[in-house]
Amino acid sequence: MLNKLRNIGIIAHIDAGKTTTTERILFYTGLTHKIGETHDGESVMDYLDCERERGITVTSAATRCTWKENSINIIDTPGHIDFTAEVERSLRILDGAVVIFCGKGGVEPQSETVWRQADKYHIPRIAYVNKMDAVGADYDQVILQIKERLGANPVVINMPVYQGDNLAGIIDLLDMRYYTFTGKAGNDIHDFEVPESNLDAAEICRTQLVEALAETDEEILDLYYQNQDVPHDLLVKAIRKNTIEGKIVPVCCGSSYRNIGVQNLLDAIVDYLPSPLEVPFPTVQSQETGEAFEIRPDDSSDFCGLVFKIVSDRHVGKLVFARIYSGTLHAGSYVYNSSKGKKERIGRLVKMHANHREETEEVKAGDIVALIGIKDVSTGDTLCKEGNSLVMESIEFPEPVIQIAIEPKTQSDQDKISEALYKISSEDPTFKMSYDQETGQTLISGMGELHLEIVSERLTKEFNLDFNLGQPQVAYRETITKKAEQVTRYVKQTGGRGQFAHVVLSLEPSDGFEFVSKIVGGAIPREFIPAIESGVKQALEEGVIKGHQVVNVKATLLDGSFHEVDSSELAFRTAAMLATRECMKKAGPQLLEPVMSLEITSPEEYTGSIINNINNRRGRLESMESQNNTQIIKGSVPLAEMFGYSTVLRSLTQGRAGFSMQFSHYEQSHLAS
């Protein structure tokens, strides 16, 4: 039943306790019989070697559990900014999210990033303030930060109770009961009257909760004015409605590591986050008619799904993760990939529990599933019933911001490394590989140092490759700054037929390359003119300053002469090359460097530091725009100054800023020329 299904993501800043919380959820819902701890390298959801070694999540992991007759599909996402694409593609296909905050750290840099991503997809959210047992944890301060930094409307639904310095339990403000969690794993729950020492604070919080809901619900408003108690069910209904509409964010608290409050969080997920029937239905477009329409999550309608993640598995090949939006899909059936225009057969259907697979014969609308057997598929592709050509909006990913060169230690590994990089780039849309013809380097790009470090580890461990990493080289250009003329006679006598060519050539600055012949009266036969142009182009491939390609030159063939016997295409091509090189030396050669357009999104308080840093990098500021306490700074900076910028920007802004850059143009370099 779709109204009993929840598709949710766990999102947060790194080390807020996402995986620890997910492990408790799996244990309390009966999916696992032992709680896996990240610090022991035993968590179920962090199953990659690199995750267990570092104690962090690198790739999003999906699982499914049941709580109070409700099925919950959970995706545990990474918290590090280098893996922000994992959050992006997960949120694209989810209906709700639990945002976890550290009771001590509060709203941290990546908390802001994931919150903005959830805003982009209009995802209803619950806030869970974790680590309330930590020294320095401050519940009120975290709630204030959620309000001020994130622009949200937090509504507190439970509060912590301390005995001395220890977190003892939580008070549920809806039913005004005090809950404690005992037993080895916190699975013995006891509820009591609210302790006398906490009663006043709890009543104030409950009044604030009722007042916040009374603003949106007339029935609660009437009861509030009549000083009557608002029933539990009415509060739940109002919180659910406002959460789904994005008007409020229910806030609950606990300590996942100490096994306190996770069951109440599960209740909140079921009570307040939407089913697939309660969120706006996705829009699809017909490729045949161009008509756009909504698709309802209905098992009996035509099949339609979206691919949001691809994983290479050494045992089964490609695991294609998809969200089923409508219809029913059977193992062994055919689907049409409308994004690629190809028909594919689904070999097997599996429901994932981290890296464990559970085979199933069919999946229905609302399900999140892995498909085995599809060969030509990319993240963001739409799969639909044969005969339909429906396309859903794809997933947009940020462009990579850091680039390094990679080269195999042995020539025999060259093809292997290209194949391995292609596999990784097909899984990860923010990892790109390219070959620079000018510098002869293979370049890999990613979202940060850690991202590329994880890729390097995979190349070593999964693919058994040896390679070196280094800085990429900047592809400079050269040009000329003034007009110059050159007369060149190329004469070569050998025992037999000689070589003779005489050209008078001028070069001048221009937009792009241009070759003009002003030969009249047959001073040089017409059939030799293309050879002269070819010679000029060949000479411009290597400049006279540092051997870089020469651009923005107009070459004019003014005059020349030929020999009836000794002149040839080769002679005129050689003469043109020599003339061009000599002429470039006289024409004020100048080095050009690539300039990147840069866009930085940062909290306003760091604007001054960022602008100073751009100026120090020989950059130019072009515009600034303010949106919701966030400054969008646009400018241009030479590429040579941008290596390592992601690390510098994070240190300048405590990790709270992000940036994107792309090639803009070439301009005169003030470096050694």
Q: How do 499-509 and 553-561 pair as beta strands?
A: antiparallel
Which range, of 128-142, 420-434, 575-589, averages the lowest pLDDT?
420-434
pLDDT of residue 50: 47
- Where does the pLDDT of residue 45 fall: very low under 50, low under 70, confident under 90, or very high at 90 and above? very low
Model confidence at 270: pLDDT above 70:
yes
Side chain identity at residue 169, one-letter code: G
Please indicate, yes or no, whether the overall pTM of this predicted structure exceeds 0.85: no
Greater confidence, 126 or 15? 126
Q: How do 342-345 and 334-337 pair as beta strands?
A: antiparallel
Q: State the average pLDDT for the chain.
A: 86
Tell me which residue of 325, 368, 366, 336 sits closest to 349, measured CA to CA: 368
- Where does the pLDDT of residue 628 fall: very low under 50, low under 70, confident under 90, or very high at 90 and above? low
pLDDT of residue 646: 80
- Where does the pLDDT of residue 258 fall: very low under 50, low under 70, confident under 90, or very high at 90 and above? very high
pLDDT of residue 59: 60
CA dihedral for 21, 25, 28, 32, sign (positive or negative): negative
Model confidence at 544: pLDDT above 70:
yes
- Mean predicted confidence (pLDDT) in 482-487: 94
- Mean predicted confidence (pLDDT) in 516-527: 90
pLDDT of residue 49: 53
The three-point CA angle 14-16-22 to 5° equals: 105
- Where does the pLDDT of residue 54 fall: very low under 50, low under 70, confident under 90, or very high at 90 and above? very low
- Where does the pLDDT of residue 103 fall: very low under 50, low under 70, confident under 90, or very high at 90 and above? very high
Greater confidence, 428 or 478? 478
- Where does the pLDDT of residue 457 fall: very low under 50, low under 70, confident under 90, or very high at 90 and above? confident
End-to-end Cα distance, the chain: 71
Query: Is the separation of the CB atoms in 380 and 306 below 8 Å?
Result: yes
Per cent of the chain over pLDDT 90 is: 40
Q: Which residues pair with 506 in a beta bridge?
A: 485, 556
Can you say how many angstroms the Cα of residue 498 is from the centroid of all Cα atoms in its chain? 63
What is d(CA 550, CA 537) in angstroms, rounded to the nearest whole number?
A: 9
Sequence-distant (6+) residues with CB within 8 A of 224 are: 210, 211, 214, 230
Highest-confidence segment of 96-110, 126-140, 213-227, 621-635: 126-140
Model confidence at 481: pLDDT above 90:
yes
- Where does the pLDDT of residue 412 fall: very low under 50, low under 70, confident under 90, or very high at 90 and above? confident
pLDDT of residue 36: 59
Greater confidence, 166 or 497? 166
Side chain identity at residue 154, one-letter code: P
The total number of residues written for the chain in this structure: 673
Helix (H) or strand (E) segment spanning residue 115: helix 109-120
pLDDT of residue 672: 47
Query: Is the separation of the CB atoms in 476 and 669 below 8 Å?
Result: yes
The Cβ of residue 655 has, within 10 Å, a number of other Cβ atoms equal to: 18
Sequence-distant (6+) residues with CB within 8 A of 672 are: 591
Q: Which residues pair with 323 in a beta bridge?
A: 306, 368
Greater confidence, 662 or 122? 122
pLDDT of residue 206: 93
Model confidence at 43: pLDDT above 60:
no
Model confidence at 309: pLDDT above 60:
yes
Q: Of all residues in the chain, what percent are helix, strand and coil, respectively (each to 5)?
A: 30, 35, 35
- Mean predicted confidence (pLDDT) in 174-188: 90
pLDDT of residue 401: 63
Model confidence at 180: pLDDT above 90:
yes
pLDDT of residue 143: 95
pLDDT of residue 673: 43
- Mean predicted confidence (pLDDT) in 304-312: 86
pLDDT of residue 46: 43
Three-state secondary structure call for residue 226: coil
What is d(CA 439, CA 437) in angstroms, rounded to the nearest whole number?
A: 6
What is d(CA 272, CA 237) in angstroms, rounded to the nearest whole number?
A: 8
The tens digit of pLDDT for each residue in 229-253 reads 889 999 999 999 999 999 999 999 9
pLDDT of residue 92: 87
pLDDT of residue 432: 86
- Where does the pLDDT of residue 559 fall: very low under 50, low under 70, confident under 90, or very high at 90 and above? very high
